Amino acid sequence: MRVQVVREILSANDQIAQANQRLLDENGILAVNLMASPGAGKTSLILATIAATRGRARLGVIEGDLASRIDADRVAREKVPVVQINTGGGCHLDAPQVSRALESLPLEQLDILLIENVGNLVCPANFRLGAHRAVVIASVPEGDDKPFKYPGIFAGADAVVLNKTDLLPYIAFDLARFRRGLQAVNPKAPLLSLSCASGQGLPAWVDWLLGQFKPR
């Protein structure tokens, strides 16, 4: 009986996710679900992406957090449309929450929507939002074992970003081992290594992102 209830919840979520994607498609918007553990650099990557794509694409942002609007305020200072979702303890965003957030965004003015999911490497992988692409952000301080320990979220990624590579000289992180782990669970996902702090590697991420967008 419990399995049946879970399936019903996920089925209802998926139906709304499909409606979200149809709405995004009607407005010619590429939506990207950004997933990572807390502190990996989701908001830093969003801010760096905003700066790097000015004049090239019109961005909007949905910020997901348990509480506060700290990250949304940071994005708003960049003059980018942003909606904050506070889950009140929920470990992930879901499609109904994103649906309500879409109502508050100027969709006709956007090309790309970045959705910052709640910091977590487990739950966000199980709930579709209506996004067209899923990106997992890992970071050097977290260690090189994350694809081995959390294979589910890495297996479903369209791309993986390794952030904070400027710390490689100072932290015992085996990049080859991380790459092997990713290849084992998801050989098709490109690994984009970068540093939001130094800017190194950011052009490759921006090129990948813009390459996913199909202009109206």
Domain ranges of the chain: 2-212
Q: Give the three-class secondary structure for 32.
A: strand
pTM: 0.94
3-state helix, strand, coil in the chain (%, to 5): 45, 20, 40
Contact yes or no for 163/45 (Cβ under 8 A): yes
* Cα–Cα distance, 90 to 16 (Å, whole number): 18
Sheet holding 112-116, edge to edge: 82-86, 59-65, 112-116, 30-36, 133-139, 159-163, 191-193
**2-212: CATH superfamily:** P-loop containing nucleotide triphosphate hydrolases (3.40.50.300)
Contact yes or no for 175/182 (Cβ under 8 A): no
pLDDT tens across the length of the chain (216 residues):
444 454 666 789 999 999 999 999 999 999 999 999 999 999 999 999 999 999 999 999 999 999 999 999 999 999 999 999 999 989 999 999 999 999 999 999 999 999 999 999 999 999 999 999 999 999 999 999 999 999 999 999 999 999 999 999 999 999 999 999 999 999 999 999 999 999 999 999 999 999 999 876
